[in-house]
Homo-oligomer: A and B are copies of this chain.
Amino acid sequence: MNIKDVASRSGLAAKTIRYYEEIGLVRARRGDNGYRVFGEADLHKLAFIGRARSLGFSIEDCRALLGLYEDRNRASADVKQLAKGHLDCIDRKLAELEAMRAALARLVEQCSGDRRPDCPILEDLAGEDPGRRS
């Protein structure tokens, strides 16, 4: 398999796969012409990474997950801890985004959105406190 095939079958971009090789996340054999050659095992590994990335795991998380995946002696507790840490991270981001959303939604709601120049959004950003509650 050449890079484009493994790319389309794994759902990753060819560029991305070359990048993963560059940072040592995966390795690829080379053919006589210098082209990268991939087998089913490589495809499997890349798809694994793709799924982990789509769950929001960082590259370094993926490196750790791959290590655990290939270690036949690892305990599931190690994997669980990594996943849990990531879950906490997601929860923090969610809380932050929700707070952001609430603040912004309140501002948008207060703004008449007409042709007059008065705008509570800008007033709030400017720190002019007239309409500030809590």
Binding site for B on A (CB under 8 A): 44, 47-48, 51-52, 55-56, 65, 68-69, 72-77, 79-81, 83-84, 86-87, 90-91, 93-94, 97-98, 100-101, 103-105, 107-108, 111-122, 124-127
Chain B residues within 8 Å of A113, by CB: 76-77, 80-81
Q: Is B125 within 8 A of A107, CB to CB? A: no
Query: How many copies altogether?
Result: 2
Q: How far is the CB of A132 from chain B (nearest CB, A)?
A: 12
Closest chain B residue to A81, Cβ basis: B113
Q: Is B83 within 8 A of A117, CB to CB? A: no
Q: Is A122 within 8 A of B79, CB to CB? A: yes
Chain B residues within 8 Å of A90, by CB: 97, 100-101, 104
Chain B residues within 8 Å of A112, by CB: 76
Q: Is B73 within 8 A of A117, CB to CB? A: yes
Q: Is B74 within 8 A of A117, CB to CB? A: yes
Q: Is B114 within 8 A of A77, CB to CB? A: yes
Residue A56 contacts which of B68, B74, B77, B100 (CB distance < 8 angstroms)? B100
Q: 19 new A-B pairs (CB below 8 Å) besides A81-B113, A83-B104?
A: A44-B126, A48-B126, A51-B127, A55-B100, A56-B104, A75-B114, A75-B117, A76-B114, A76-B117, A76-B118, A76-B122, A80-B108, A83-B108, A83-B121, A86-B104, A90-B100, A93-B97, A94-B98, A94-B101
